[in-house]
Structure 1
């Protein structure tokens, strides 16, 4: 009689699978995509695995980890009250703007003043009426010419650059509003609707304020700051064909010292072209 071991007498002996079958089962389990495996993968491989599983119509097994809810999404009583106050404030600004537009249109002497006139433009209009204004025309490549009115008696280059930034942004905002108002009638929106009275969002500073950025029939707005623009662009006096050194006297040089007279015409030029690699600090 041969010796029988406990392993031979085991009741599970007949149910054990062949090594090849066990290998196949192990391979299948290894190829199954689960959320646990996805969490261990890098982001690029995780997206690739999910995309391939979706193309094969294979489900992802396991329990998906729940995302943490952003606390800002939860509408609390305080946030609801703030949203209501913000909406009321916007409605009040829109109605005030419409009333101011109506008043300016009724007065013949003020009909040419826009209802959203800035403080710089308003001080310029007052200086023109008092006869102490300095008017500068700034040409832009592909865009309209800016009319900058400085109320100072002897303006320097610093207020000129600030006025150019403010007036160009205001005109850009008005052009966007006019473009929006032209589109609203085509959409069937009435003049007194709430959507028409909504303020037009505009970028704080765009490349369109210096030169035309129109490509392929539409505008590409590159978000840049005026500090960056003044580092890359300078001003050229068209009358004398001489670049303006805005770093002279640390920006405190008057326009007369720089050769800029009243009703002079300036234009934007690349700083590298006239000053080499030197940039404004």
Structure 2
């Protein structure tokens, strides 16, 4: 603030006959000072948020560019209002998915997987778009040896609890799918 005040004093006209030019000059100086300070302020804010997340044991596992949704989900897990499930994607790293423990259907779980996967790809700067219709047509979600087939079924019916590990299993083609009814 002192720099702005000093700059404004320097912008005072030598003669009092040009008040319009003086206002324009003051505005230019303020704009230049705020532009410089804005960049520094953004960097300082990002660094501070990163330090808070890194030093807080509750938030320490979150990435530096955390979203508000991820923060709320992590807080819900800590308060027991949500559970974390892990999706084993083979060669890719496991993906943590946060869902509410009550009244969560397999369809809700699939939507959460879609959200978390897309966010993960965005962070890795992968531009490839995933056809989720194709994924769900070719693969089942699996928990242990149980395939999550019914989208309307509650995940508790499958025995899924906190920190459970899910994975994809390729669907088998059902022969003679169309059978004649007699």
> TM-score, normalising length from structure 1?
0.41
- Are residue 149 (structure 1) and residue 98 (structure 2) matched? yes
Aligned to 1:140: 89
> TM-score, normalising length from structure 2?
0.61
Change (3 A) 1:257 1:172: same
Aligned to 2:49: 104
Change (3 A) 1:161 1:141: same
- Are residue 164 (structure 1) and residue 113 (structure 2) matched? yes
1:229 paired residue among 123, 135, 138: 135
How far, CA to CA, are the matches of 2:108 and 2:80 in structure 1? 19
**Secondary structure of the equivalent of 2:157?**
coil
How far, CA to CA, are the matches of 1:163 and 1:95 in structure 2? 36
Does the CA contact (< 8 Å) of 1:123 and 1:151 recur in 2? no
Aligned to 1:252: 152
**Secondary structure of the equivalent of 1:260?**
coil
Aligned to 1:180: none
Tell me the alpha carbon deviations over residues 254-273 of structure 1, each in whole angstroms, 9 at most, x when there is no partner.
1011332222111011112x
Q: Over aligned residue pairs, what C-alpha RMSD do you find?
A: 2.8
| Aligned positions of 1:1-281 closer than 5 A | 101-107=46-52, 108-109=55-56, 110=59, 112-151=61-100, 153-176=102-125, 202-203=126-127, 205-206=129-130, 225-238=131-144, 241-245=145-149, 248=150, 251-272=151-172, 276=174
**Secondary structure of the equivalent of 1:203?**
coil
How far, CA to CA, are the matches of 1:95 and 1:271 in structure 2? 53
| Matched length | 134
How far, CA to CA, are the matches of 2:71 and 2:128 in structure 1? 21
Cα displacement (A) at 1:138: 0.8
How far, CA to CA, are the matches of 1:99 and 1:276 in structure 2? 58
Of structures 1 and 2, the one scoring higher in RCO (CA 8 A, sep 6+) is: 2
How far, CA to CA, are the matches of 2:108 and 2:134 in structure 1? 17
How far, CA to CA, are the matches of 1:258 and 1:153 in structure 2? 13
Q: Choose 1 or 2 for highest CA Rg.
A: 1
How far, CA to CA, are the matches of 1:118 and 1:167 in structure 2? 11
Q: Which runs of 4+ in 1 moved over 6 A?
A: 94-97
